Structure formats: C-alpha cells, structure tokens
Amino acid sequence: MPSSPAYGRREEKSLQYVQLGRTGTRVSNICFGTMSFGSYSDASTARAMYDHCRELGINFFDCANSYAGGGKAEAILGDLLGSDRDRVVITTKVCRPMSQDTNGSGLSRRHIMQEVENSLRRLKTDRIDVYFAHHYDPYTPPEETLRAFDDLQRQGKIIYAGVSNWAAWRIADAIGISRREALARFDVVQPMYNLVKRQAEFELFPLAQVMGLSVMVFSPLASGLLTRANANTSGQRSGRLAEARYLKRYEDQRNFEIAAEFCAIADEVGVDPAMLAVAWAASHPAVTVPIIGAESVEQVGNYVEAVNFAMTPELRQRISDLSPLPTYEIERTID
C-alpha cells in the first residue's frame, strides 16, 4: 500500500460512540439501516446481520414503517430486539403511504397518532428513540406535525424527533416554530449524501452544525453506484441499481464515469470501493454517522471498516474533486 501522506490508512481501533446532536444519548459511529429486512434479506439473514452488528458494537438501527411494505422491516427488527431493547437505539419514520386510504399517508396529527401505535406494536417496544418525519407534507402545517410529536414525547412514546428529506429552510422554519410555541424540536436530520449527490453540503450541513443537529446520512454508496460491480459505463447494472427507481436517480452517464474514476482511486489506495465510499461520506465534519445497508454478514464487516479508516484531507479532497458541487437551486413556492 502506498505510504504517501496523500493516502488514508487503517487504524486499529474498535467502533467509537458519539453524541446524538444536542441530546445526552450516545450511539455507535455507524448506524445499520434495516431497509433490506423483509425485501432483499429474509428473517434468518436479518438475524445473522443483526447479531454481527451487535458483536461489532453497533447499537444504532434505522428503520421506517414503509420499509419492505406493510411494516415488514419493523416487524423483523422487533423480533430481533428482544431483551436487547434497552441496549440499542432505534429509529423509525412516518409519512409514506401505508394504505390506499385518502388519509393513509402524510404528517397530519391523525396519521401520525395512528402510525406511531402501529410502529410500536410491530417493533414490540413501548417507545421509539428517534421518530422521523420521513418526507415533507405540503398539505399539513408544520405546527400540526410538531404538536403531534410534542404530545408523543410527553407521553413517552417517542424520545427524540427527527426529519428526513426536508429542505434546510423548512427545517429552520420548523425549529423556529418549536422555539416560539415551546414544542418538540427536531434533534436529528437524515439526508442523502454521497459522492455524486452532495446537495446537503450547501445549506443543510451548515444548518445542522449551527443548530446542533445530529446528521445521519443515508445512501453513502449511491444505491451501489460506488461499488466495483457498477463502476463501468457499459450500461450493465447489478444490485439495487438494476431497479428502475434507483437507476433513474443516477442515470446521468457522468455519474458512472465518476464511479469508475473513484474505484480506480480505491484500487490505488488498496481498499474496497464500498468501504471507501462510506469513509468519504463519514469524513465530512457535519456528519455524525453514516447509515450502512447490507444484505449479508460479509458486507456488514466490510462497511464497518470504514470508520476505522483514517481519511486524510488530501485523499478526501482528491475524491471530492471527482464530482462538482451541484448547482444551487432555490425552491420556488410562488410562480
């Protein structure tokens, strides 16, 4: 392996535990995402991955009521927790459609109060450590959502409130409402962040740093784009990237060129591209933890190595230079 200071190196150390934003809760510096439970991974594989996570020291698990459809991922995670519940920190989310009913989605008080009970039942627990507003709901005033979260906090059904996939200005507005009305405040944000999707660097990361928000980034591998299997421009895709919804997200040909160039750097450094992609995302100073998704025990171990990789400023900059920062676009609310 090259010895130049321009390259990262492995450090022999175990997982570390970090503060979850302004809260007093500490979590492993890598979070295991359970989106594969019940879809890409059956219950026995999920058990093997969960057990391996715990052996490695991971105490942070991310879920959502919509994962695998009909709450299947939550149900599998609930079966796995058992007597381990008090030693782990779990998240889940609300907003995506859970039925065909006209009120079966969103962030209305009605939907939130229904879905939190469903999530608690499936997870076999009496409280959710971090409850996320999964998406922005244009039909529900943020005051209504925050009031519902506040009531759930007071009831002890959720410990902390989080938000995912919201624009930074909307999060800032919600924090202002929380201050003014003395309501539950978002303590955790969960944005997409990887080498070819860097929009979070514009305003969301600075907001999080100023406001003391914990940042959990999802999709550090860009749905498998930043792996050797997809680092080609031939058009043949594997894994999640073979699915239409993920391929559409990364269909720009330049993304695949970036992936190939990124994998060449990983080969030069002597590390697996998937591990390096997680390490790069985790190395941003605003990021608290990356969320890793896996479909096998072997993948879990490989991704966990990322937090033991010393990403030098030189290597981070070299990787960052592969992809330009996105063009900043102000969300239009009035035509």
Residues with active-site annotation: 67
Residues in the chain: 335
Which residue, 304, 305, 262, is CA-closest to 9?
Answer: 305
- C-alpha to C-alpha distance for 280 and 288, rounded to whole angstroms: 13
Tokens of 2: 């090259």
Q: Where are the alpha helices (DSSP H) in the chain?
A: 43-56, 72-81, 109-123, 142-155, 168-181, 204-211, 244-249, 253-269, 273-282, 297-304, 313-320
In DSSP notation, 273-288 reads HHHHHHHHHHTSTT-S
| Residue 24 DSSP SS3 | coil
**Could you give the CA distance from residue 261 to residue 320 in angstroms, rounded to a whole number?**
11
Distance, CA of 255 to CA of 272 (rounded, Å): 19
Which one-letter amino acid corresponds to residue 257?
E
DSSP 324: P
CA distance 328 to 313: 25
Angle at 44 between CA 303 and CA 126, to 5 degrees: 85
Contact 238, 256 (CB under 8 A): no
The dihedral of CA 145, 173, 217, 328: what is its sign?
A: positive
Using the structure block, give the residue that is written with the tokens 């550090």.
Answer: 220
CB distance 212 to 21 below 8 Å: yes
Tokens of 179: 């201050």
